[in-house]
Structure 1
Amino acid sequence: MINIRLANERGAANFGWLDSKHTFSFGSYHDPKHMGFSALRVINDDTVTPGAGFGTHGHRDMEIISFVTKGIIAHKDSMGNVQELPKGEFQLMSAGSGVTHSEYNGSGTDMLKFLQIWIEPETKGGTPGYQQKDFGQQQGLTTIITPTGENGTLKIKQQATLRQLYLAQDTAEKLTIEDSRKVYIHVVEGELQVNEKTLNAGDGAQIADLATLDLRNQNEQQVLALVLELP
């Protein structure tokens, strides 16, 4: 099963300083057909004007992933982290028993674009945590987040794995899926073929009951996508 979520069918919110596209129900956007997928609860595709951002606010019992596709995030949280998150880097904040943070466009002149992904943790509570790392732009699949933190990956409190996929023109990757696992693919840029389906930038695919995926780029533009394996 491969169900496509087209970019232009996502929910939307525009506050002037923030233009956000919601893959799943979020804020004032509610669609009972799109409440999440397995432990995946949120994929927000956010564009923030220069100098603007999200003031200090709280979270708990959620694994929050941020991935910058343009610009830089200025991050500050109640754990004492004051960080900048530039294009291409991944941030994983485990909210645990409770954390507050703020996120701003770190530039006064350039737009910020980033994806924010929320995954429900396997167990609630626990000490909040913060991780950040640049994994480069290696072609093919690069593992970013795992439940164990093995091989230098970021460690998440869920049986979930996040991989980054870069495909140059006329290249392909095969992904083997463990029994009963689900997969969600979000295309950031380019046109990606997933088995017999075609996904463009902003599109997503919910995948279940498949053993393998053929991931191909048959066009000139490079493909960048995020591949989530879920319980």
Structure 2
Amino acid sequence: MLRKLESGKMGSSNLGWLRSKFHFSFAEYYNPNNMGFGVLRVINDDLINPNTGFDMHPHQNMEIISYVVKGELTHGDSMGNKGKLKRGDVQYMSAGTGVYHSEHNLGKEVARFLQIWILPDKEGHKPNYGEYKFEWNDRKNKWLHMVSSNQGEAVVKVNQDINIFTLELDERSVIDYCVKADRQAYLVQIEGKSNINGIILNERDAMEIVEEDIKIKADALSHFIIVEMKKA
């Protein structure tokens, strides 16, 4: 089963300093029929103006992953962690029993990042933070496995049975992705334009994939992320 989600029909917000696309119900966008996809609870596609950002605020019992698309993101938290991420880098925070954090764009250009929230396998995990600066070429015309469960093989590990992959695909190039029985995946066309099993995706569109293999053909240089998980 494939289902296309157009970015123009997603929830949105414009606070001036922050402009967001909400893939699922979040903040002022509420749709009781769009509360997530399996254990994937949130994907926010955020644009943050320079010298602005999210001041210290709390989270609890959520696995939070940030993927930087453009610009830079500066992190701080109540555990004493500090970090700066740029294009293609990943940040992971297990909020667990409770943590405060801040995310700011201290750069000179508008920053874009995907904020991804995953429901944990149980409540009450010890809070944890990590980041990884991947080489860009590691996703060039091949799937880069960035995030997995604690039992998985990716360098970034979370408290849930999920896998997150990214890919940059050259124009006119083709690649496959297999979603096995009892599994599902959520794909975001971060940049570019593609044809997936005959369905056209434009920049910031998304696709739900349930127990089906896909063939992706890039109609332009394209950048993707996939969150794969057990079927709900």
Under TM normalisation by the shorter chain, which class is it?
over 0.9
The whole-number CA distance in structure 2 between the counterparts of 1:161 and 1:94 is 16
2-side partners of 1:61 and 1:13: how far apart? 25
Deviation at 1:192, TM superposition (A): 1.9
Matches within 5 A, 1:38-57: 38-57=38-57
The reply on whether 1:92 has 2:92 as its aligned counterpart is yes
**Contact in 2 for aligned 1:149/1:156 (Cα 8 Å):** no
The residue identity in structure 2 corresponding to 1:32 is: P
Q: Which residue in 2 is equivalent to 1:17?
A: 17
Aligned to 1:60: 60
Match of 1:214 in 2: 215
The worse-fitting range, judged by mean Cα deviation, of 9-18 and 141-150 is 141-150
- Residue 179 (structure 1) aligns with: 181
1:1-231 residue pairs with structure 2 within 5 A?
1-107=1-107, 109-137=108-136, 138-139=139-140, 140-148=142-150, 150-151=152-153, 153-210=155-212, 212-217=213-218, 219=219, 221-231=220-230
Preserved CA contact (<8 Å) 2:25 2:35? yes
Number of paired residues?
A: 227
d(CA) in 2 for partners of 1:129, 1:79: 8
**Identity fraction in percent:** 35
The Cα shift of 1:33 comes to 2.4
* Contact 1:12/1:20 (<8 A) preserved: yes
Contact kept? 2:94, 2:158, Cα under 8 Å: yes
The letter for the 2-side match of 1:123 is K
CA–CA separation in structure 1 for the residues paired with 2:154 and 2:19: 33
| Structure 1 letter corresponding to 2:39 | A
Asked if structure 2 preserves the Cα contact closer than 8 Å seen for 1:11 and 1:23, the reply is: yes
Does the Cα contact within 8 Å between 2:148 and 2:154 map onto a contact in 1? Answer: no
SS of residue matched to 1:28:
coil
Q: Retained in 2: the 8 A contact 1:173–1:215?
A: yes
Query: Does the Cα contact within 8 Å between 2:20 and 2:46 map onto a contact in 1?
Result: yes
Report the Cα distance in structure 2 between the residues aligned to 1:150 and 1:134, rounded to whole angstroms. 19
TM-score (norm 2): 0.94
User: What is the deviation of 1:135?
Assistant: 2.1
What letter corresponds to residue 105 of structure 2 in structure 1? Answer: N
Does 36-45 or 193-202 show the bigger shift? 193-202
User: What is the DSSP-based 3-state SS (H/G/I as helix, E as strand, rest coil) of the residue aligned with 1:8?
Assistant: helix
Q: CA separation of 1:28/1:152 partners in 2, compared to 1, >3 Å: closer, same or farther?
A: closer
| Letter paired with 2:217 | R
Q: Deviations over 1:152-185 (max 9, x none)?
A: 5200111000000111122111122221101100
RMSD: 1.3
Cα pair 2:180 2:211 within 8 Å, conserved: no
Q: Secondary structure at the match of 2:143?
A: strand
Shift, 1:136, TM fit: 2.2
Q: How far is the alpha carbon of 1:151 from its aligned partner?
A: 4.5
Letter in 2 for 1:121: P
**Following the alignment from structure 2 to structure 1, what is the Cα–Cα distance between the partners of residues 65 and 195?**
25
Structure 2 stretches lacking a partner, 5+ long: none
Greater mean deviation of Cα atoms: 182-191 or 165-174: 165-174
**Separation in 1 of the partners of 2:118 and 2:152?**
19
TM-score by length of 1: 0.94
Answer yes or no: is the 8 Å Cα contact 1:84–1:106 preserved in 2: no
